[in-house]
Structure formats: C-alpha cells, structure tokens
Structure 1
Amino acid sequence: MFNQSPYDIRIEWGRRGAREAAEREDIVIIVDVLSFSSTVISALRYGARIYPYPPNLDGSEYAKKVGAEFILGRAEAAKIGKPTLSPVSFNKEHSKKKYVMSSLNGAFCTWISSKVPALLIGSLINASSVASVANRLKLETKVNITVVPCGEQWSDVRENEDTLRPSIEDYLGAGAILSYLDGERSPETEVCIGAFHNAKPRINELIWECGSGRELRERGFEGDVKHCGRLNVYQTVPILYKDHFVAAP
C-alpha cells in the first residue's frame, strides 16, 4: 500500500489525501493557491470570520444558521460589490463580519479533514509563517505534518476517469511551505521542494502563465493571479477553531 509512514513531513493530494491525513490524525496544511487558501488568509488579515463549507451541501442555509453571509460566485458577487472567492475583494470594511465560504477544492478538503489536531491554511503568500506555526504545533503535540495541495477538478469528466486535476500553483505552494518545515521529509516532499526551489526565481511568472492562472485571467480576474503569486507577503495564519478560522498566534 502506498504511504509515507516512515516520515514526519508528508504531502498528499486532494480530497483523498485530506481524508488519509485526517485518519492518521496529522497536523494538516490545506493549500489552494488560486484561491481558497489565499482568500481565507486575506480575509482574516482584515479581521473577517470565515466559515468553510463543502459545495455539495446547502451553504446558504448554513449561513443563516451561523448568522453569516453566504459568499456568492466571483462574477455574481462582484456585480453587487460583495466579497467573493477573489482574495482582493476583501478589505477593512469586512472586519468582524462573518462569511460562509464554499469551494470545490480548498473548502471541501478542509471539511474532510476538519477533525485533525490542527488544521492550517497555507499558500504562497504566507508560506514561511504557516510553516513556523506548524513547526511549533508539531513540537507541542508530537504529531506529524501533512501538506495537502488541493488541485482542481476537471469539468468534463468521462466514465472511469479521475476528477482531480493536479495544479502547479498548489504544488509550488506546497513546496514553498515544505521547504520551511522541520522534520524528516518523505521523498515525495523532497521532490516537491525541489520543484519550488527551481521555480522560485520565476514564481510570479509561472503562476501568471499556468493553466489555472490563465483561466482566471480570461475571466477578468488578473488581480487575483497577481495577488496569489507573491511569496511570503503576509504573516496571517488561519487555523480552524471549531467551525471557523481564526488567526493563529
């Protein structure tokens, strides 16, 4: 059976990886660069409270239950000036307000692995900071760390095909975080770190030109791609507390 059990630091893809990390009771770092992770980080930086919720359940009904606003899709919300899955849509006006955020990848993976000892949100924009918090928690709890790049979902899946589309932005985000983590690393993590170090001098350009980046740009969200492609610009580290994210100390 495939596993990375001899190692302290591991990497697992998508929903399956999130489930396996949860079953092992690892510390989990969810990485969805474009853009659930980057949006949660940016929202918390301005003091908003984010409740993650899977897209296969009724997020609007859940929002009523917790007294929050349900975040709409990018294009729909942008027309009426509401915050969206776009990280640049949050600002100081959203401080202390509550939002339910649903997404196919980051929110779903968070939901699946929500019962772990600690669940953190990482991206390129907070890579060193999220690793620092994870290192501290690892020392305190004596628990291993799994980084989960979420990837994307194919939109035209045919019979007998997988839905997961591995994405380079999440792989590079995971590699950035892994490069700062302490402990014995699996071969899979070493390769991911190598990819990040090779890409680091051109990280902005690669995120801009990757398939996911082009997709967002073609839909008019160039600002999102620029925002998410930066390295270590924020110290905010979201950690799941019961049903919502708070900023880790």
Structure 2
Amino acid sequence: MNPEHRQLEYGLRFDWGLRGAEAIAVGVDVAVVVDVLSFTTTLSVAADAGIDVLPYSWNDESAVDYARDADAVLAVRRSVAREGQISLSPRTIRESEVPSRLVLPSPNGSTIAFALASQVAVCVGASLRNASAVADWIVHEHGPGSRVAIVASGEKWPGGELRPAVEDLWGAGGVVTALTAAGWEGSLSPEAQMAADAWTAVSDSYEDRLRDCASGRELIVMGFPHDVAIASELDDSDTVPVLEDRVFRGQRTGRRLNKLRAQR
C-alpha cells in the first residue's frame, strides 16, 4: 500500500470501509467506527441499555456458533425479526427484553470493528447519537494530542464493492467537529477536514437529509422509518461503546453533551 494513503503525518485521519480502516489505523491511539444506518446507532442504544455487544462479520451459521460460545443472544436479520427479537434495528432493543450480551452482526460497521479488534489498542463506536460523548471521552482519556482514525463504514453494492454512504460521512464529520470543540489539538488530514465540512454543510437540516439520502430512503421503503428517526437523535447519548477483548462495553462520560446540537 502507498504510505501516503495511510495519512501518517496527521493526528486525525479519515477513510472508508475495511481497507481504509486497515490503512489509517496504523499507530493510532483510538480508532472510531461510524455506521449511522445502522450498526453504531444500534450499538449506542444497546450501550445505553447496559448491553455488552460483540461485533461479528455477518449473520451466517458461524454467527450462531459464535453467539453460543460467547453465551450471548444473536441478533437476527432485520427483515425476519419477530416481536421480541433483537435485530440491527435499534428500535428492537428498546422494545425487547434486554440481554446482558448480544452478538450484533453487520456487513459494514460490525465487520470493520471485528477486524480492528486485533489491530488497534482502542476502538469505539460513534454515531450522531453519541458523537460529542465520543469526542469528549477521547480527549479526556487519551489527551488533546492523541492520534485518531475515523472510519466511515459505508455500505455494499450487490457485488460486494464499497458504496460510500453519505450518512457515514456526516457522522464522521460530526465526530471531527466535536473533537475540535472538546479541545483536541492535533492536525487534521484533508480527508478529515472534508468530513467536518460535509457535516457543517448539513447540520442545520441533517434530519431531512438523513431521511432523504439513499440509505434513509431504503430503510423507509423497507418499513423502518423509526430506525432513521433514532439515528437522528443528535447527542442524546452520553455512552461511549469501547471495544475490549472483542466486546463493546459502554462507558459513560458522566454528563449529557449537546455540543453538536448547540453549534447548529
């Protein structure tokens, strides 16, 4: 890989998908995975509920074995979930009996987090719901000069190729913006600055933009408008899901943060 693609000279880096994550996470203090629709939004709702979440690459037969071996509930596919079952839909966590441990597969955010677990010392999950909490936690726990890689998970085309998803660009930009507001003092790569600029451009109308973007419209057509609404709960969560020993455990910042909302 071309070393320039790793953005090594910058303290705050940004890229897309699994390959991008593997490129920019080299030597960082914290990797941040963003998958707004829906893995990291659902992850944040689960963390708020006190659920330990195990990421996994995808929901196939191996996931059944993984969940059984981990003594965890396996989230089912969103399209087949019945009442009382948890899926990638964040609403199902709010409407179901809360398990202590949950395997939450997804082809994007969860897959990336699962892969990063063996590459980086610290990985956290961020969405619009907890962007300011994540930023505050990074600065408090790792310092204003910490090295941070932010990964927009994106989606997949039917053939498996990466489809950059604009909602993840906005979510990543929200984290970049919140980091600078929290006192982070490092240098931004042009890619990270671009993500921040994208968030600034839509921050006054992000709820409409989230509903109208391709992924938002897809979920609404599928019958999951509530998933888009939950993803729009800007800074409603003060919980930071931190990946430790392949398990995301929520760490609370101790106060509600509304930095992004205040900046709108």
TM-score normalised by L of structure 2? 0.86
* 2:70 is aligned with 1:72: no
Q: Which runs of 5+ in 1 are unaligned?
A: 158-162
Instruction: Tell me which residue corresponds to 1:160.
Output: none
- Give the aligned CA root-mean-square deviation in angstroms: 1.8
* 2:143 is aligned with 1:139: yes
Give the superposition deviation at 1:17.
1.6
TM-score normalised by L of structure 1? 0.91
SS of the residue corresponding to residue 41 of structure 1 reads: helix
| 1:202 maps to which of 197, 201, 205 | 205
- Match for 2:52: what amino acid? R
| 1:34 maps to which of 37, 40, 52 | 37
Give the superposition deviation at 1:94.
3.9
| 1:187 maps to which of 185, 190, 195 | 190
Give the superposition deviation at 1:117.
1.6
Preserved CA contact (<8 Å) 1:27 1:117 = yes
Distance 1:242 1:66, change over 3 A: same
Q: Report % sequence identity.
A: 32
Give the superposition deviation at 1:235.
0.8
* 2:175 is aligned with 1:172: no
| 1:8 maps to which of 1, 8, 11 | 11
Distance 1:92 1:13 in 2: 32
SS of the residue corresponding to residue 52 of structure 1 reads: strand
SS of the residue corresponding to residue 120 of structure 1 reads: strand
Give the superposition deviation at 1:96.
4.9
Instruction: Tell me which residue corresponds to 1:231.
Output: 234
Give the superposition deviation at 1:156.
4.0
Preserved CA contact (<8 Å) 1:35 1:86 = yes
Give the superposition deviation at 1:198.
1.0
SS of the residue corresponding to residue 232 of structure 1 reads: coil
Instruction: Tell me which residue corresponds to 1:117.
Output: 121
SS of the residue corresponding to residue 17 of structure 1 reads: helix
Preserved CA contact (<8 Å) 2:25 2:149 = no
SS of the residue corresponding to residue 100 of structure 1 reads: strand
Instruction: Tell me which residue corresponds to 1:47.
Output: 50
Q: Which runs of 5+ in 2 are unaligned?
A: 253-264
Give the superposition deviation at 1:137.
3.2
Distance 1:8 1:248, change over 3 A: same
SS of the residue corresponding to residue 24 of structure 1 reads: coil
Preserved CA contact (<8 Å) 2:59 2:106 = no
Distance 1:25 1:189 in 2: 14
Distance 1:200 1:17, change over 3 A: same
Distance 1:150 1:43, change over 3 A: same
